[in-house]
Amino acid sequence: MKLLLLAGTGEARGLAQALAGMQGVSAIASLAGATSDPAPLALPTRTGGFGSAEAQAQWMRAEGIEAVLDATHPFASRITARTARISRTLNLPCLHLIRPPWRPGPGDRWVELADAREALDHIPAGATVFLATGRGTLADFAPLAGQGRRLISRQIEASGAPFPWPGGEYLVSRPPFGIADEIALFERLEVDWLVVKNAGGEGARAKLDAARALRLPVLLLARPAPPEGEVVESVEAALDWVRGL
């Protein structure tokens, strides 16, 4: 069985490790190339976008891919939807691993947003806003610029470009981040609001635990709609699916 693993998450890393040792499965991983020096995966890996849906389908045919396991990030909705479509067209089994979203607990001050543009309805003038939402969505927060707000956008790698609006800055910093570090960072920067994607998972939740400890309000961006197709929430369930192919 030749399997394509669409990677880019901690779960995909765990899957790669398990698939590398699985009898009867020959798997190849694919990374978007979003970060310049990702830690290697335990599988042969191709890196970079395919270029288009047609190019992805053509690559999958040429490689003799027989099944697809999509373990990309819950917000990577384009590659997920496209892969579901291609798999249907090529009549290949396809599974999406989408980890559960975070849910608020006692002490959390969360506001869930369907769209980043709603942030302006909640964050007052003059606030210091920590955007932990990554590079891809920064432009969506343009309405927050001005009115004395200070915007701090955390990025894994420096883009080389200046911050797009006055009153803002990048903070280049590579995860993982611990709770104590996040608390110290938010205190040092005098953060008033935290903005995050509801990514779910353990790896990125320290910022939310820090916000709870500091009683900081948090805007959580809701997830994109799930793909049409089979979805599981855990690495174990995804491996069971592979064993059943």
Ligand X SMILES: NC(=O)c1ccc[n+]([C@@H]2O[C@H](COP(=O)([O-])OP(=O)(O)OC[C@H]3O[C@@H](n4cnc5c(N)ncnc54)[C@H](OP(=O)(O)O)[C@@H]3O)[C@@H](O)[C@H]2O)c1
Question: What are the residues binding ligand X (CB under 6 A)?
Answer: 6-9, 30-32, 34, 49-52, 56, 72-73, 75-79, 134, 136, 197
Answer positive or negative: Cα dihedral of 47, 49, 55, 58: positive
Nearer to ligand X, 65 or 79 (CB): 79
Q: Cβ 137 to ligand X, closest distance in Å?
A: 7
Amino acid letter for position 228: E
Instruction: Confirm if 245 and 1 have CB atoms less than 8 A apart.
Output: yes
How far apart, in whole angstroms, are the C-alpha atoms of residue 9 and residue 41?
A: 11
Q: Cβ 205 to ligand X, closest distance in Å?
A: 14
Q: Cβ 81 to ligand X, closest distance in Å?
A: 8
Amino acid letter for position 122: H
How far apart, in whole angstroms, are the C-alpha atoms of residue 191 and residue 132?
A: 12
Nearer to ligand X, 79 or 210 (CB): 79
Nearer to ligand X, 192 or 201 (CB): 201
Q: Cβ 21 to ligand X, closest distance in Å?
A: 21
Q: Cβ 226 to ligand X, closest distance in Å?
A: 13
How far apart, in whole angstroms, are the C-alpha atoms of residue 230 and residue 207?
A: 31
Residues 6+ apart with CB under 8 A from 233: 97, 98, 99, 100
Nearer to ligand X, 114 or 125 (CB): 114
Nearer to ligand X, 129 or 221 (CB): 221
Nearer to ligand X, 59 or 127 (CB): 59
Q: Cβ 155 to ligand X, closest distance in Å?
A: 12
Q: Cβ 73 to ligand X, closest distance in Å?
A: 3
Nearer to ligand X, 78 or 243 (CB): 78
